[in-house]
Amino acid sequence: MKNKRETIVTAGVIADTHDFLDEKVFDIFDGVDIILHAGDIEGMEIIRRLEEIAPVEAVAGNHESEEVQAKYQWITSVDLGGVEVALTHRFLPVNVNSTLPLLPLKKEWLKEFGIENARGLVFGHAHEPANFKLNDVLYFNSGYAGPDMTEPMRTVGLIYSDGVELTGDVFFLNPPPRDWYLDRALEWPKAR
């Protein structure tokens, strides 16, 4: 009998590319089953390049071309090996301290958005990674993946589904400017 569940689906997660795609993404996402783009794509060329790796599910952010806005909704859900994941761009406030009183998300809010069965919430916009669970729901932001000149930290992520639970990892596209940067993303629920 196996103690450890096997991963049945791996999703590459990227957000806030702002019309830029780092070549390191191709190595990090090599072998993923699907890619989730949590908005601020800006142009469809990014989606076409990501589709060279795997099928892409995406949502529109607040900085999009007309083509992206016409193609993608602001929120959707994705099945990752039998586990529902909600995908959106701007769901939680940017400021971590103002976000904490909102978590865990109220069931009536989830129902209003049609994601009441979601076991994961993938979002973007904050430009900082988040990877934590509250009440068995994974809250995951892969962070900012756009051009170097805009933000000091650039990251992407992977989410793993074993058909029952979700886990995630964040990967740096450039070295972190501060040692505590990623640790902070993992401390959100502990700061309450």
Q: Dump pLDDT digits (tens) for 74-89.
A: 889 999 999 999 999 8
Dihedral angle, C-alpha 144, 168, 35, 23, nearest 10 °: 50
Region of poorest pLDDT, from 22-36, 58-72, 135-149, 165-179: 165-179
113 pLDDT more than 90: no
Calculate the average pLDDT of the chain. Answer: 83
* pLDDT for the residue numbered 21: 96
- Positive or negative, the Cα torsion across 26, 4, 8, 189? negative
Q: Which residues contact 174 (CB under 8 A, 6 or more apart)?
A: 148, 153, 154
Yes or no: say if 85 and 119 are a contact pair by the CB < 8 Å rule.
Answer: yes
Query: What totals of helices (H) and strands (E) does the chain contain, helices first?
Result: 6, 10
pLDDT band per the 50, 70, 90 thresholds, residue 153: confident
CA 63 – CA 82 distance, rounded (Å): 31
Structural tokens at position 19:
């019309």
Q: What is the DSSP letter of 125?
A: S
Count of CB atoms within 10 A of residue 108's CB? Answer: 8
Yes or no: say if 37 and 43 are a contact pair by the CB < 8 Å rule.
Answer: no
The larger pLDDT score, comparing residue 159 to residue 113, is at: 159
Q: In what order do the strands lie in the sheet with 155-161?
A: 56-58, 34-37, 9-14, 155-161, 166-172
Count of CB atoms within 10 A of residue 77's CB? Answer: 18
Report pTM. Answer: 0.84
